[in-house]
A and B are shown apart, each in its own frame.
Chain A
Amino acid sequence: MKKNLLIAAMLGLGLVSAVQAAGTLDKIKSSGSITMGVRESSGLSYTIGDNKYVGYHVEICQRVIGDLQKQLKLKSLDIKYQPVTSQNRLPLVQNGTVDLECGSTTNNATRQKDVAFAVTTYVEEVRIAVKANSGITSLNQLNGKKVATTTGTTSVQLLRKHEKAAGVDFNEVFGKDHADSFLLLESGRADAFVMDGSILALNIANSKNPADYKIVGEVIAVEPIAIMLRKDDPEFKKAVDDSIKKMMKDGTLTKLWDKWFLQPIPPKGNKVGLALSASTKDAWAYPNDKPAEDYAKK
């Protein structure tokens, strides 16, 4: 929070230059290092302690950086890991602190005004997690119930829109992070937790008793999740996109999916158990960086 406010204040005062003048590739080449933005606890990027970050997106980024190193013919390329939050990831990419944000950021039109996205590597389905014995199977059954979601995510707005459209009335409770929102569900303070499917699956996998929870109901929304980079740097974007497209073609992404979503993952050796969805397969077959709004129209 504090760091975030400070950055906001510094941006406001113009102390931090908003955009780096030189291209990111030049910067990487001259400094011999690249800064990767990572998340502390997210389905695609999380910490296993001791300043180590892993996850589907982190591994994709590590491979992209490997390709960048080859392209720039650098002997060594130092990867710096910078933890980011939902609140500070955009400013940190804009002001040049983070070169490649490998968390789980939704590519939408509003954000595209400020940053650029690599081709979509993951398509998220927003789902509902409930206690297995609750008998809830759809969103409309949640009328008058308490629905948890996490502050600072797009799911809050999605819920609000759905509420208006379907004429239902939820009592929203906001967790300060995903772990907190899941605790609300676990402790019975909320009847459902509406969030990205991967986050729900990960939290359930890491819970005390994964069999107590299940993901139910319709897909509330589909959102493209992509690696975020600075705007107006076509050379860097092309280098990143090319590397990712190569991985889409040669089956690397399918292997990574299997590794991170179907096999046991660190730190606890749980399985997330999230099958490859049709929408993600689509995004790999036809690489694109379309924002979420284009998906909604379909």
Chain B
Amino acid sequence: MSWNWEVFCKSTLDENFSPVCFGTGGETTYLDWIMSAWGWTLSVSALGLLIAMVLGILMGALRTLPPDNFVTRLLATIGNVWVELFRSIPVLVQVFLWYHVVPALIPVLKSLPSFILVSLALGFFTSSRIAEQVRAGIGALPRGQRFAAMAMGLTTFQSYRYVILPMALRIVIPPLTSESMNIIKNSSVAFAVSVAELTLFAMQAQEETSRGIEIYLGVTALYVISALTVNRIMALIESKTRVPGFIVSASSGGH
């Protein structure tokens, strides 16, 4: 097995090699391209994650609303339908639905770039998973917390905003870490709708250069770096937001 890492310094147009590996004067090398592809992967993941977090926390909270009256029951049903709908369709199928089917039904969406559509698809898919985790987090809180909030005279919204969600979200940081890392890996489906991200780069560049192993290893390294960075950021958030004595962290032993 002979390595040929110079392939990343090669121009994407001809057989020239750039001495600094980055293209100069309008030239583009495979290194430039993989970096731009990495940018697309991170952009799709970041936008998808933002959508997923906002909707996931909202839907997860809705599902735990007490069945006091018609409105809360309706909202809880919306949350249930949302989760069951988006988690039972494979993510690649959802991407195609957003790209090919939805714009055919709603022509306005045709003008949206595929980057937005794929972020929506990824975000909605992941939101259903985050919603379940948030619901589990809320379920893990002692019922007394909700009752205490009510006894203080807080409205339902206020008790979620100031008592339930701040505690529940701390509990579910570990599974949210997994989801945040997952969305980076799942963003590879964006290649199917023409977003020039890492997987599309890998498929195209290995074809053009015939150096598939180097290209795939390069792409793998970037995926690992991205996912690990997210992991470390989430670990930092976990330690910064810890409330001493309330939620016992894994390191000090919960049992």
Contact = CB atoms under 8 A, between A and B. Distances in A.
Chain B interface mostly: helix
A85 to B, nearest CB: 9
Contacts of B194: 172-175, 184
Contacts of B196: 174
Contact of A110 (B13, B114, B191, B209): B209
Contacts of A297: none
Interface residues of A, number: 36
B204 A151 contact: yes
A161 B13 contact: yes
A206 B13 CA distance: 34
Interface residues of B, number: 25
Given A8-B216, A160-B12, A154 B204 contact: no
Interface string A177-212: 000100110011100000000000000000000000
B200 A114 contact: no
Contacts of A1: 199
A251 interface: no
A113 B210 contact: yes
A161 to B, nearest CB: 6
A111 interface: yes
Contacts of B200: 151, 174
Given A174-B194, A175-B194, A187-B104, A90 B213 contact: no
A152 B1 contact: no
B217 A12 contact: yes
A14 B3 CA distance: 13
Interface in A57-102: 86-87, 90-91
A276 interface: no
A14 B1 contact: yes
Interface string A4-17: 01001101101000
Interface in A262-284: none
A180 B110 CA distance: 17
A175 B192 CA distance: 7
B192 A157 contact: no
A164 interface: yes
Contacts of B207: 86-87, 152-154
Interface string B192-210: 1010100110011011111
Contacts of B191: 151, 174, 176
A189 B12 CA distance: 26
Contacts of B208: 110, 154, 156-157
A18 interface: yes
B100 interface: yes
Interface in A109-133: 110-111, 113-114
Contacts of A189: 110
Nearest to B114: A173
Contacts of A156: 204, 208
A180 B104 CA distance: 16
Nearest to B196: A174
Nearest to B92: A176
Given A5-B216, A8-B216, A174-B196, A187 B100 contact: yes
Contacts of A14: 1
A174 B118 CA distance: 14
Interface of A: 1, 5, 8-9, 11-12, 14, 18, 86-87, 90-91, 110-111, 113-114, 151-154, 156-157, 160-161, 164, 172-176, 180, 183-184, 187-189
Given A1-B199, A110-B208, A183-B100, 9 more contacts: A8-B216, A113-B210, A151-B203, A153-B207, A157-B13, A172-B194, A174-B194, A174-B200, A176-B191
9 contacts: A12-B1, A91-B212, A151-B191, A151-B203, A152-B203, A156-B208, A160-B13, A183-B100, A189-B110
In the complex, the 7 A-B pairs of residues with the closest C-beta atoms, listed nearest first: A174-B194, A173-B194, A152-B207, A152-B203, A176-B192, A110-B210, A8-B216
